[in-house]
Amino acid sequence: MTMKNVKNVYPPKFPEKKFGRVHYRQVDHEVKNIFEIGGVTILPSSEAWQKFAWTKKFFGEKPKEGYFIWVKNQLDFPLTACITIASPKISQDLRNLLVIEKNIKARANVICDAKEKFLCGKHLARGKLILKEGVFLEYNHIHKWGEKDNVQPDYEFTLEKGARLIYNYRNLFPPENLEFKTTIHSGENTSSNLNLIIMGGRAAKASRVAGAPVLGRVASKTKVKDTVFLEGKNSQTVVRLRLVGRKKSQIEAISQIFATSAGKGHLDCQGLLVDKTAKISLIPQLVCQNKKAQITHEASIGKISEEELTYLRMRGLTEKEAIDLIVSGFLKKV
């Protein structure tokens, strides 16, 4: 659902070029390739720290690994970065920085994944994304993890005057432990749309009889915290959070909007429990410090409707196919 008083951000049209080339690729701790393009500086964070003194205030301390992308000219293709865990027991500690200069429209696809299911890796990523005046950014962030990984992304977006952001985060293959944190600082006349899709747990096996007891520990623990600060006049935000609790999953989510100026914001948080062993806790929080601000929220957690499930199974779908269809319908609403 969209709120009437909050404008949706429509992305400007890019020529349809798909992922194609990867501009920054890191496997384990090693930077595999950097594809240089005109108007964009791409470096490992540690090099950027040395080369550009101004980055120090964003990085804070000297980074070990991660990417630095500085977009200075308008591009007609998306930037792509891939960070992969390919060996067992790797512990990545990334500091990423993406800076986009004034009035540039950009799209970035960032994929973080594990090559195999049981690598027991750790992916710690702290990122800062600076959208300067009048920038438009569509940031597609895709996660795909193994069943034993520990993943902690912590991204902070700063939107300067008139900047627009669409942040799409999809995590359909959750790790064992996910701590997802996003913070948005919205300046004057900015707008941000956050579409966050997070799955917990494993896909249920089709043969499992509904109601059969499930023993064993929790397969995935997920903590989500997204915070939007409406700091500038006329800043707007819409946050859509979709959580799917599958077999043996625990999801705790806090979705917040802090309004310190006359901005508009809306939280739309929905959870869907697919399995009896799943647990979702969902807290939408609104903090208003400006009497002209308009912030609203809606939140709900539901289970898969037995009626829908029975109907789909009657029409020839297996239980698993029927669940998948209902879940994809639930996620499509984003």
Partner 1 sequence: MKQKKVICAMSGGIDSSVAAALLKKAGFDVIGVFIKLTDLPRFKESGMRAKKVAKILGIPLLVLDLRREFKERVINLFLKEYKLGLTPNPCVACNKEIKFGFLLEKALSLDTDFIATGHYARIKKRFVNSKQIRYSLMTAKDKEKDQSYFLWKLNQKQLKHILFPIGDYSKTQVRIISRKFKLPTFEIPESQEVCFIQGTINDFLKKRLKEKPGKIITKEEKTVGEHRGLWFYTIGQRKGINLPDGPYYVLDKDLKKNLLIVTKNEKDLYEKQLLAGHVNWISGQEPKFPLKIKAKIRYRHEPASAVITRSLKSKVSLRFAQSQRAITPGQSVVFYKGQEVSGGGVISESY
Binding region for partner 1 (CB under 8 A) out of 15-23, 97-105, 136-144, 316-324: 316-324
Binding region for partner 1 (CB under 8 A) out of 42-50, 161-169, 197-205, 303-311: 303-311
CA dist., res. 333 & res. 307, Å (int): 20
CA dist., res. 109 & res. 169, Å (int): 10
15 binds partner 1 (CB under 8 A): no
- 118: CB partners within 8 A, 6+ apart: 146, 147, 148
Q: How many residues at the interface with partner 1, by CB under 8 A?
A: 13
Residues, the chain: 334
Smallest gap, in angstroms, from Cβ of residue 316 to partner 1? Answer: 4
Exposed e or buried b for every residue in 193-218, given b needs 16+ CB within 10 A? bbbbbbbbbbbbeeeeeeeeeeeeeb
CA dist., res. 145 & res. 4, Å (int): 37
Smallest gap, in angstroms, from Cβ of residue 310 to partner 1? Answer: 4
Indicate the residue among 215 and 314 with the shorter CB distance to partner 1: 314
The residues pairing with 41 across neighbouring beta strands, listed in sequence order, are: 70
Smallest gap, in angstroms, from Cβ of residue 320 to partner 1? Answer: 10
What are residue 60's phi and psi, to 5 degrees?
85, -70
Smallest gap, in angstroms, from Cβ of residue 328 to partner 1? Answer: 17
Indicate the residue among 53 and 209 with the shorter CB distance to partner 1: 209
319 binds partner 1 (CB under 8 A): yes
- 242: CB partners within 8 A, 6+ apart: 196, 197, 198, 270, 271, 272, 330, 331, 333, 334
16 binds partner 1 (CB under 8 A): no
CA dist., res. 134 & res. 103, Å (int): 4
Among 177, 313, 324, 331, binds partner 1 (CB under 8 A): 313
317 binds partner 1 (CB under 8 A): yes
Sign of CA dihedral 56, 59, 60, 64: negative
Indicate the residue among 8 and 318 with the shorter CB distance to partner 1: 318
Indicate the residue among 2 and 310 with the shorter CB distance to partner 1: 310
Among 5, 318, 328, 333, binds partner 1 (CB under 8 A): 318
H helix or E strand, kind and range, residue 86: none
Smallest gap, in angstroms, from Cβ of residue 160 to partner 1? Answer: 46
Binding region for partner 1 (CB under 8 A) out of 187-195, 236-244, 294-302, 313-321: 313-321
Binding site for partner 1 (CB under 8 A): 209, 211, 306-307, 310-311, 313-319
